[in-house]
Amino acid sequence: MQIDETYPEPIFDVAQLASVEMYSPKVDETVWFFTELLGMTESDRVGDSVYLRAYEDWYHHSLKVTFREEPGIGRTTWRTSSPQALRRRTEALSTHGVRVQWREGDIGQGHTADFRSPSGHAHSLLWDVDYFEASDEQASRLLSRPQKRPLKGVPVRRLDHVNHLVDDVTANREFLQDTMGFRLRENIVAHGREAAAWMSVSPLVHEIANLADRTGRSAGGNGSLHHLAFWYGFPQHLLDAADIFTDYGLTIDIGPGKHGATQAQFLYVFEPGGNRIELFGDTGYLIFDPAWKPLTWTEQNMDKSLIWYGSPLAREFTIFRDPVPA
C-alpha cells in the first residue's frame, strides 16, 4: 500500500490538564464552596494558598486557591505524556521564541517549566507529580477511585478544563497548536473574527478554550479567567447542584443547559470569591476521528453553539458583551 509520508502527524506530547491556580479575595468562603458544596478534599495549606482535589483526581491537588484582592486565574499546569515529551515541548517553546523558566515545582509537583502564552496567561509543563495517598478510612474498594466518594454536597469527580479570556483568540489558539500540539475542535468565527476556540490533546473536545475578551481586562498581558470546569458525568448532578446553589444563596450564571459546541450539559455558578465555575454534567461528545476537521460556527448559528437548549445567555456572558457594561 502507498503511504503518504508527508501527512502531518499529530503530536501527543501533552497528556492532560494537571492543575489550575485560582485567585480569590475570600479564600475561606471559596474553600467552603469547593468542600461543602462540591465535596472536594483539602490536601494542604501553604502560605496564602489552599490545595484541593476532587475525589477521582489522582494527584496531590488539581486546584490551588490563592489569596488575591481580585478573583482570577494564576497558573495553568499541563502534564506531558513522558519525560521526553516534556523535553520536546520545552524545546518547541524555545524554538518559537518563548521564554521557558524551570523551577523546583509546587508542593505535590516535580520540576516545572513555566512560560506565558501570548495572552499573558501563566502556563506550566511538568512530568513528575505526587499521587494522593488515601488513609485506610478514606480508601475505596473501587480501584479506579483514589478515595471514597465524599458524603458532602454534590461531589465533583475531577478537574475538566479551563477557559481563558484572551484579547486575540487566533493568536493564542495558534500558539497552543504550534507549541503544545493542541488540536482545534470547534470555534466561532463571527463577522470575520474568531470569538472562541475549543482545543484538546485528547478525545475531550477541550481541555482549554479561549474566549474573546471584550472587557479590556485582558489587555496588557494580564490573563483572565472565563471559567474553570469540574466534571460529574451525570446530568442529574447539575440539577442537584443548581438546587443547592439556589437554596444556599449562590448566584447561578446560566444553566443547567446544553451547549451546541462541545455538546456539554453545563451549569455555571459564581463561587463566593467571584470566579465563574462550570459544572460539566455529562461528557458531551468525544472525538476519536484522527483526521477531525474543526467545526466552525458563525454569526448565523453562534447562538446554537452556545446554547443548544437551556437558559438564554445572561448579559454578563462575556462573548456577548460588546460593548460591555461594568
Which residue's CB is nearer to a second copy, number 102 or number 216?
102
Min dist CB 22 to a second copy, Å, is: 20
Stretch that binds a second copy, among 41-49, 65-73, 200-208, 217-225 (CB under 8 A): 200-208
Which residue's CB is nearer to a second copy, number 66 or number 265?
265
Min dist CB 290 to a second copy, Å, is: 4
Residue 203 identity (one-letter amino acid): P
Min dist CB 30 to a second copy, Å, is: 16
Min dist CB 178 to a second copy, Å, is: 18
Strand-pair category, 14-24 with 41-46? unpaired
- For residue 251, count other CB atoms closer than 10 A to its CB: 14
Q: Which of residues 266-305 bind a second copy (CB under 8 A)?
A: 282-283, 285-286, 288-290, 295-297, 301, 304-305
Q: Which of residues 95-154 bind a second copy (CB under 8 A)?
A: 102, 111, 113, 140-145, 148-149, 151-153
Separation between Cα atoms, residue 15 and residue 121, nearest integer Å:
19
Which residue's CB is nearer to a second copy, number 151 or number 191?
151
Of the candidate residues 122, 190, 252, 324, the single one contacting a second copy (CB under 8 A): 252
* Residues contacting residue 174 through CB under 8 Å, at least 6 positions apart: none
**Does position 189 bind a second copy by CB under 8 A?**
no
Of the candidate residues 46, 94, 216, 312, the single one contacting a second copy (CB under 8 A): 312
What secondary structure letter does DSSP report for 137? T
Q: How far apart, in Å, are the Cα atoms of 38 and each of 71, 153, 176, 188, 244? A: 19, 5, 30, 31, 10
Min dist CB 263 to a second copy, Å, is: 6
Min dist CB 231 to a second copy, Å, is: 9
Coil, helix or strand at residue 261: helix
Q: Which of residues 212-251 bind a second copy (CB under 8 A)?
A: 233-237, 239-240, 242-249
Coil, helix or strand at residue 158: strand
Torsion angle, alpha carbons of 261, 265, 269, 271, to 10: -100
Q: How far apart, in Å, are the Cα atoms of 204 and each of 82, 85, 160, 283? A: 20, 20, 9, 8
Which residue's CB is nearer to a second copy, number 149 or number 193?
149
Separation between Cα atoms, residue 99 and residue 33, nearest integer Å:
36
Q: Which of residues 15-74 bind a second copy (CB under 8 A)?
A: 15-17, 36-37, 56, 58
Separation between Cα atoms, residue 266 and residue 66, nearest integer Å:
26
Min dist CB 121 to a second copy, Å, is: 21
